[in-house]
């Protein structure tokens, strides 16, 4: 399962540069070794909110991508996660960050969940639903080595898919070029054939007129 938290008051007028993807717990707020189930337990890491605000003011796109496995375990609900995210956004606003692009969170940490890190589903869906976001021109910041491995895996898969798409387009364009060349050649042959017949017909007419 995956939830997309739509950020209110996004500011598309802010010039956008590269994408900065962020994990939440352990990057923005302190990881207290348990799930953050209530705004009261959200404790920002000193300087994190100001750093995000500084990046945003420079025109970078900010996206939060995080596992929230406590939902699957029954320790919290999506509403609890949204309440924490709302509180985080409020703190960001007070720190000088008026908006971010989006927040995506998985509802489990299960490796069989395509959207839970270390799987790359959240990254793919984020790009699909936000056409202006391209992680190939950005970064992802996490607090675990698996976060970086996930991002590298996503970029490698994306590069492979893009190369396959370029190859497919090149093959299609080559087929279209050959088809058009064949049509042009056929057209020229038809025109040459008609010209030949016109000459023969004209010669016959001249011959018949001389006989008279």
Say if CB 108 and CB 72 are below 8 A apart: yes
Residue 113 annotated as catalytic: no
Distances (CA, A) of 24 to 8, 43, 78: 18, 11, 15
Catalytic residue among 23, 80, 113, 147: 23
Omega within 30 of 0 (cis) for the link into 118? yes
Name the region of 156 (left: φ>0; alpha: ψ -120 to 50; beta: rest).
alpha
Q: Name the residue among 76, 83, 110, 59 with its Cα closest to residue 5.
A: 83
Catalytic residue among 25, 80, 113, 147: 25
Say if CB 67 and CB 36 are below 8 A apart: no
Residue 80 annotated as catalytic: no
Residue 3: alpha-carbon gap to chain centroid: 16
Residue whose entry in the numeric block shows the structure tokens 């590298």:
152
Q: How far apart are CA 102 and CA 145, in angstroms?
A: 23
Backbone angles phi, psi at 108, to 5 degrees: -150, 170
Question: What is the 8-class DSSP label of residue 45?
Answer: P
Q: How far apart are CA 56 and CA 11, in angstroms?
A: 10
Residue whose entry in the numeric block shows the structure tokens 């500084």:
54
Catalytic positions, written as ranges: 23, 25
């Amino acid at each position: 399962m995956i939830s997309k938290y739509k950020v209110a008051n996004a500011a598309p007028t802010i010039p956008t540069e590269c994408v900065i993807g962020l994990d939440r717990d352990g990057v923005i707020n302190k990881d207290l070794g348990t799930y953050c189930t209530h705004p009261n337990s959200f404790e920002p890491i000193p300087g994190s909110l100001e750093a995000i605000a500084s990046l945003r003011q420079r025109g970078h796109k900010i996206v939060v991508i995080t596992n929230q496995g406590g939902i699957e375990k029954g320790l919290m609900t999506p509403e609890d996660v949204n309440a924490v995210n709302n509180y985080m956004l409020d703190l960001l606003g007070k720190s000088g960050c008026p908006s971010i692009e989006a927040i995506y969170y998985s509802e489990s940490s299960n490796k069989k969940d395509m959207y839970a890190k270390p799987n790359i589903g959240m990254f793919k869906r984020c790009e699909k639903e936000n056409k202006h976001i391209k992680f190939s021109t950005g970064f992802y910041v996490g607090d675990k080595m698996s976060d970086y491995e996930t991002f590298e895996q996503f970029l490698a898969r994306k590069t492979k898919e893009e190369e396959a798409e370029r190859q497919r387009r090149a093959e299609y364009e080559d087929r279209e070029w050959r088809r058009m060349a064949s049509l042009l050649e056929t057209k020229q042959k038809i025109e040459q054939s008609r010209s030949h017949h016109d000459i023969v017909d004209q010669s016959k007419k001249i011959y018949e007129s001389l006989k008279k």
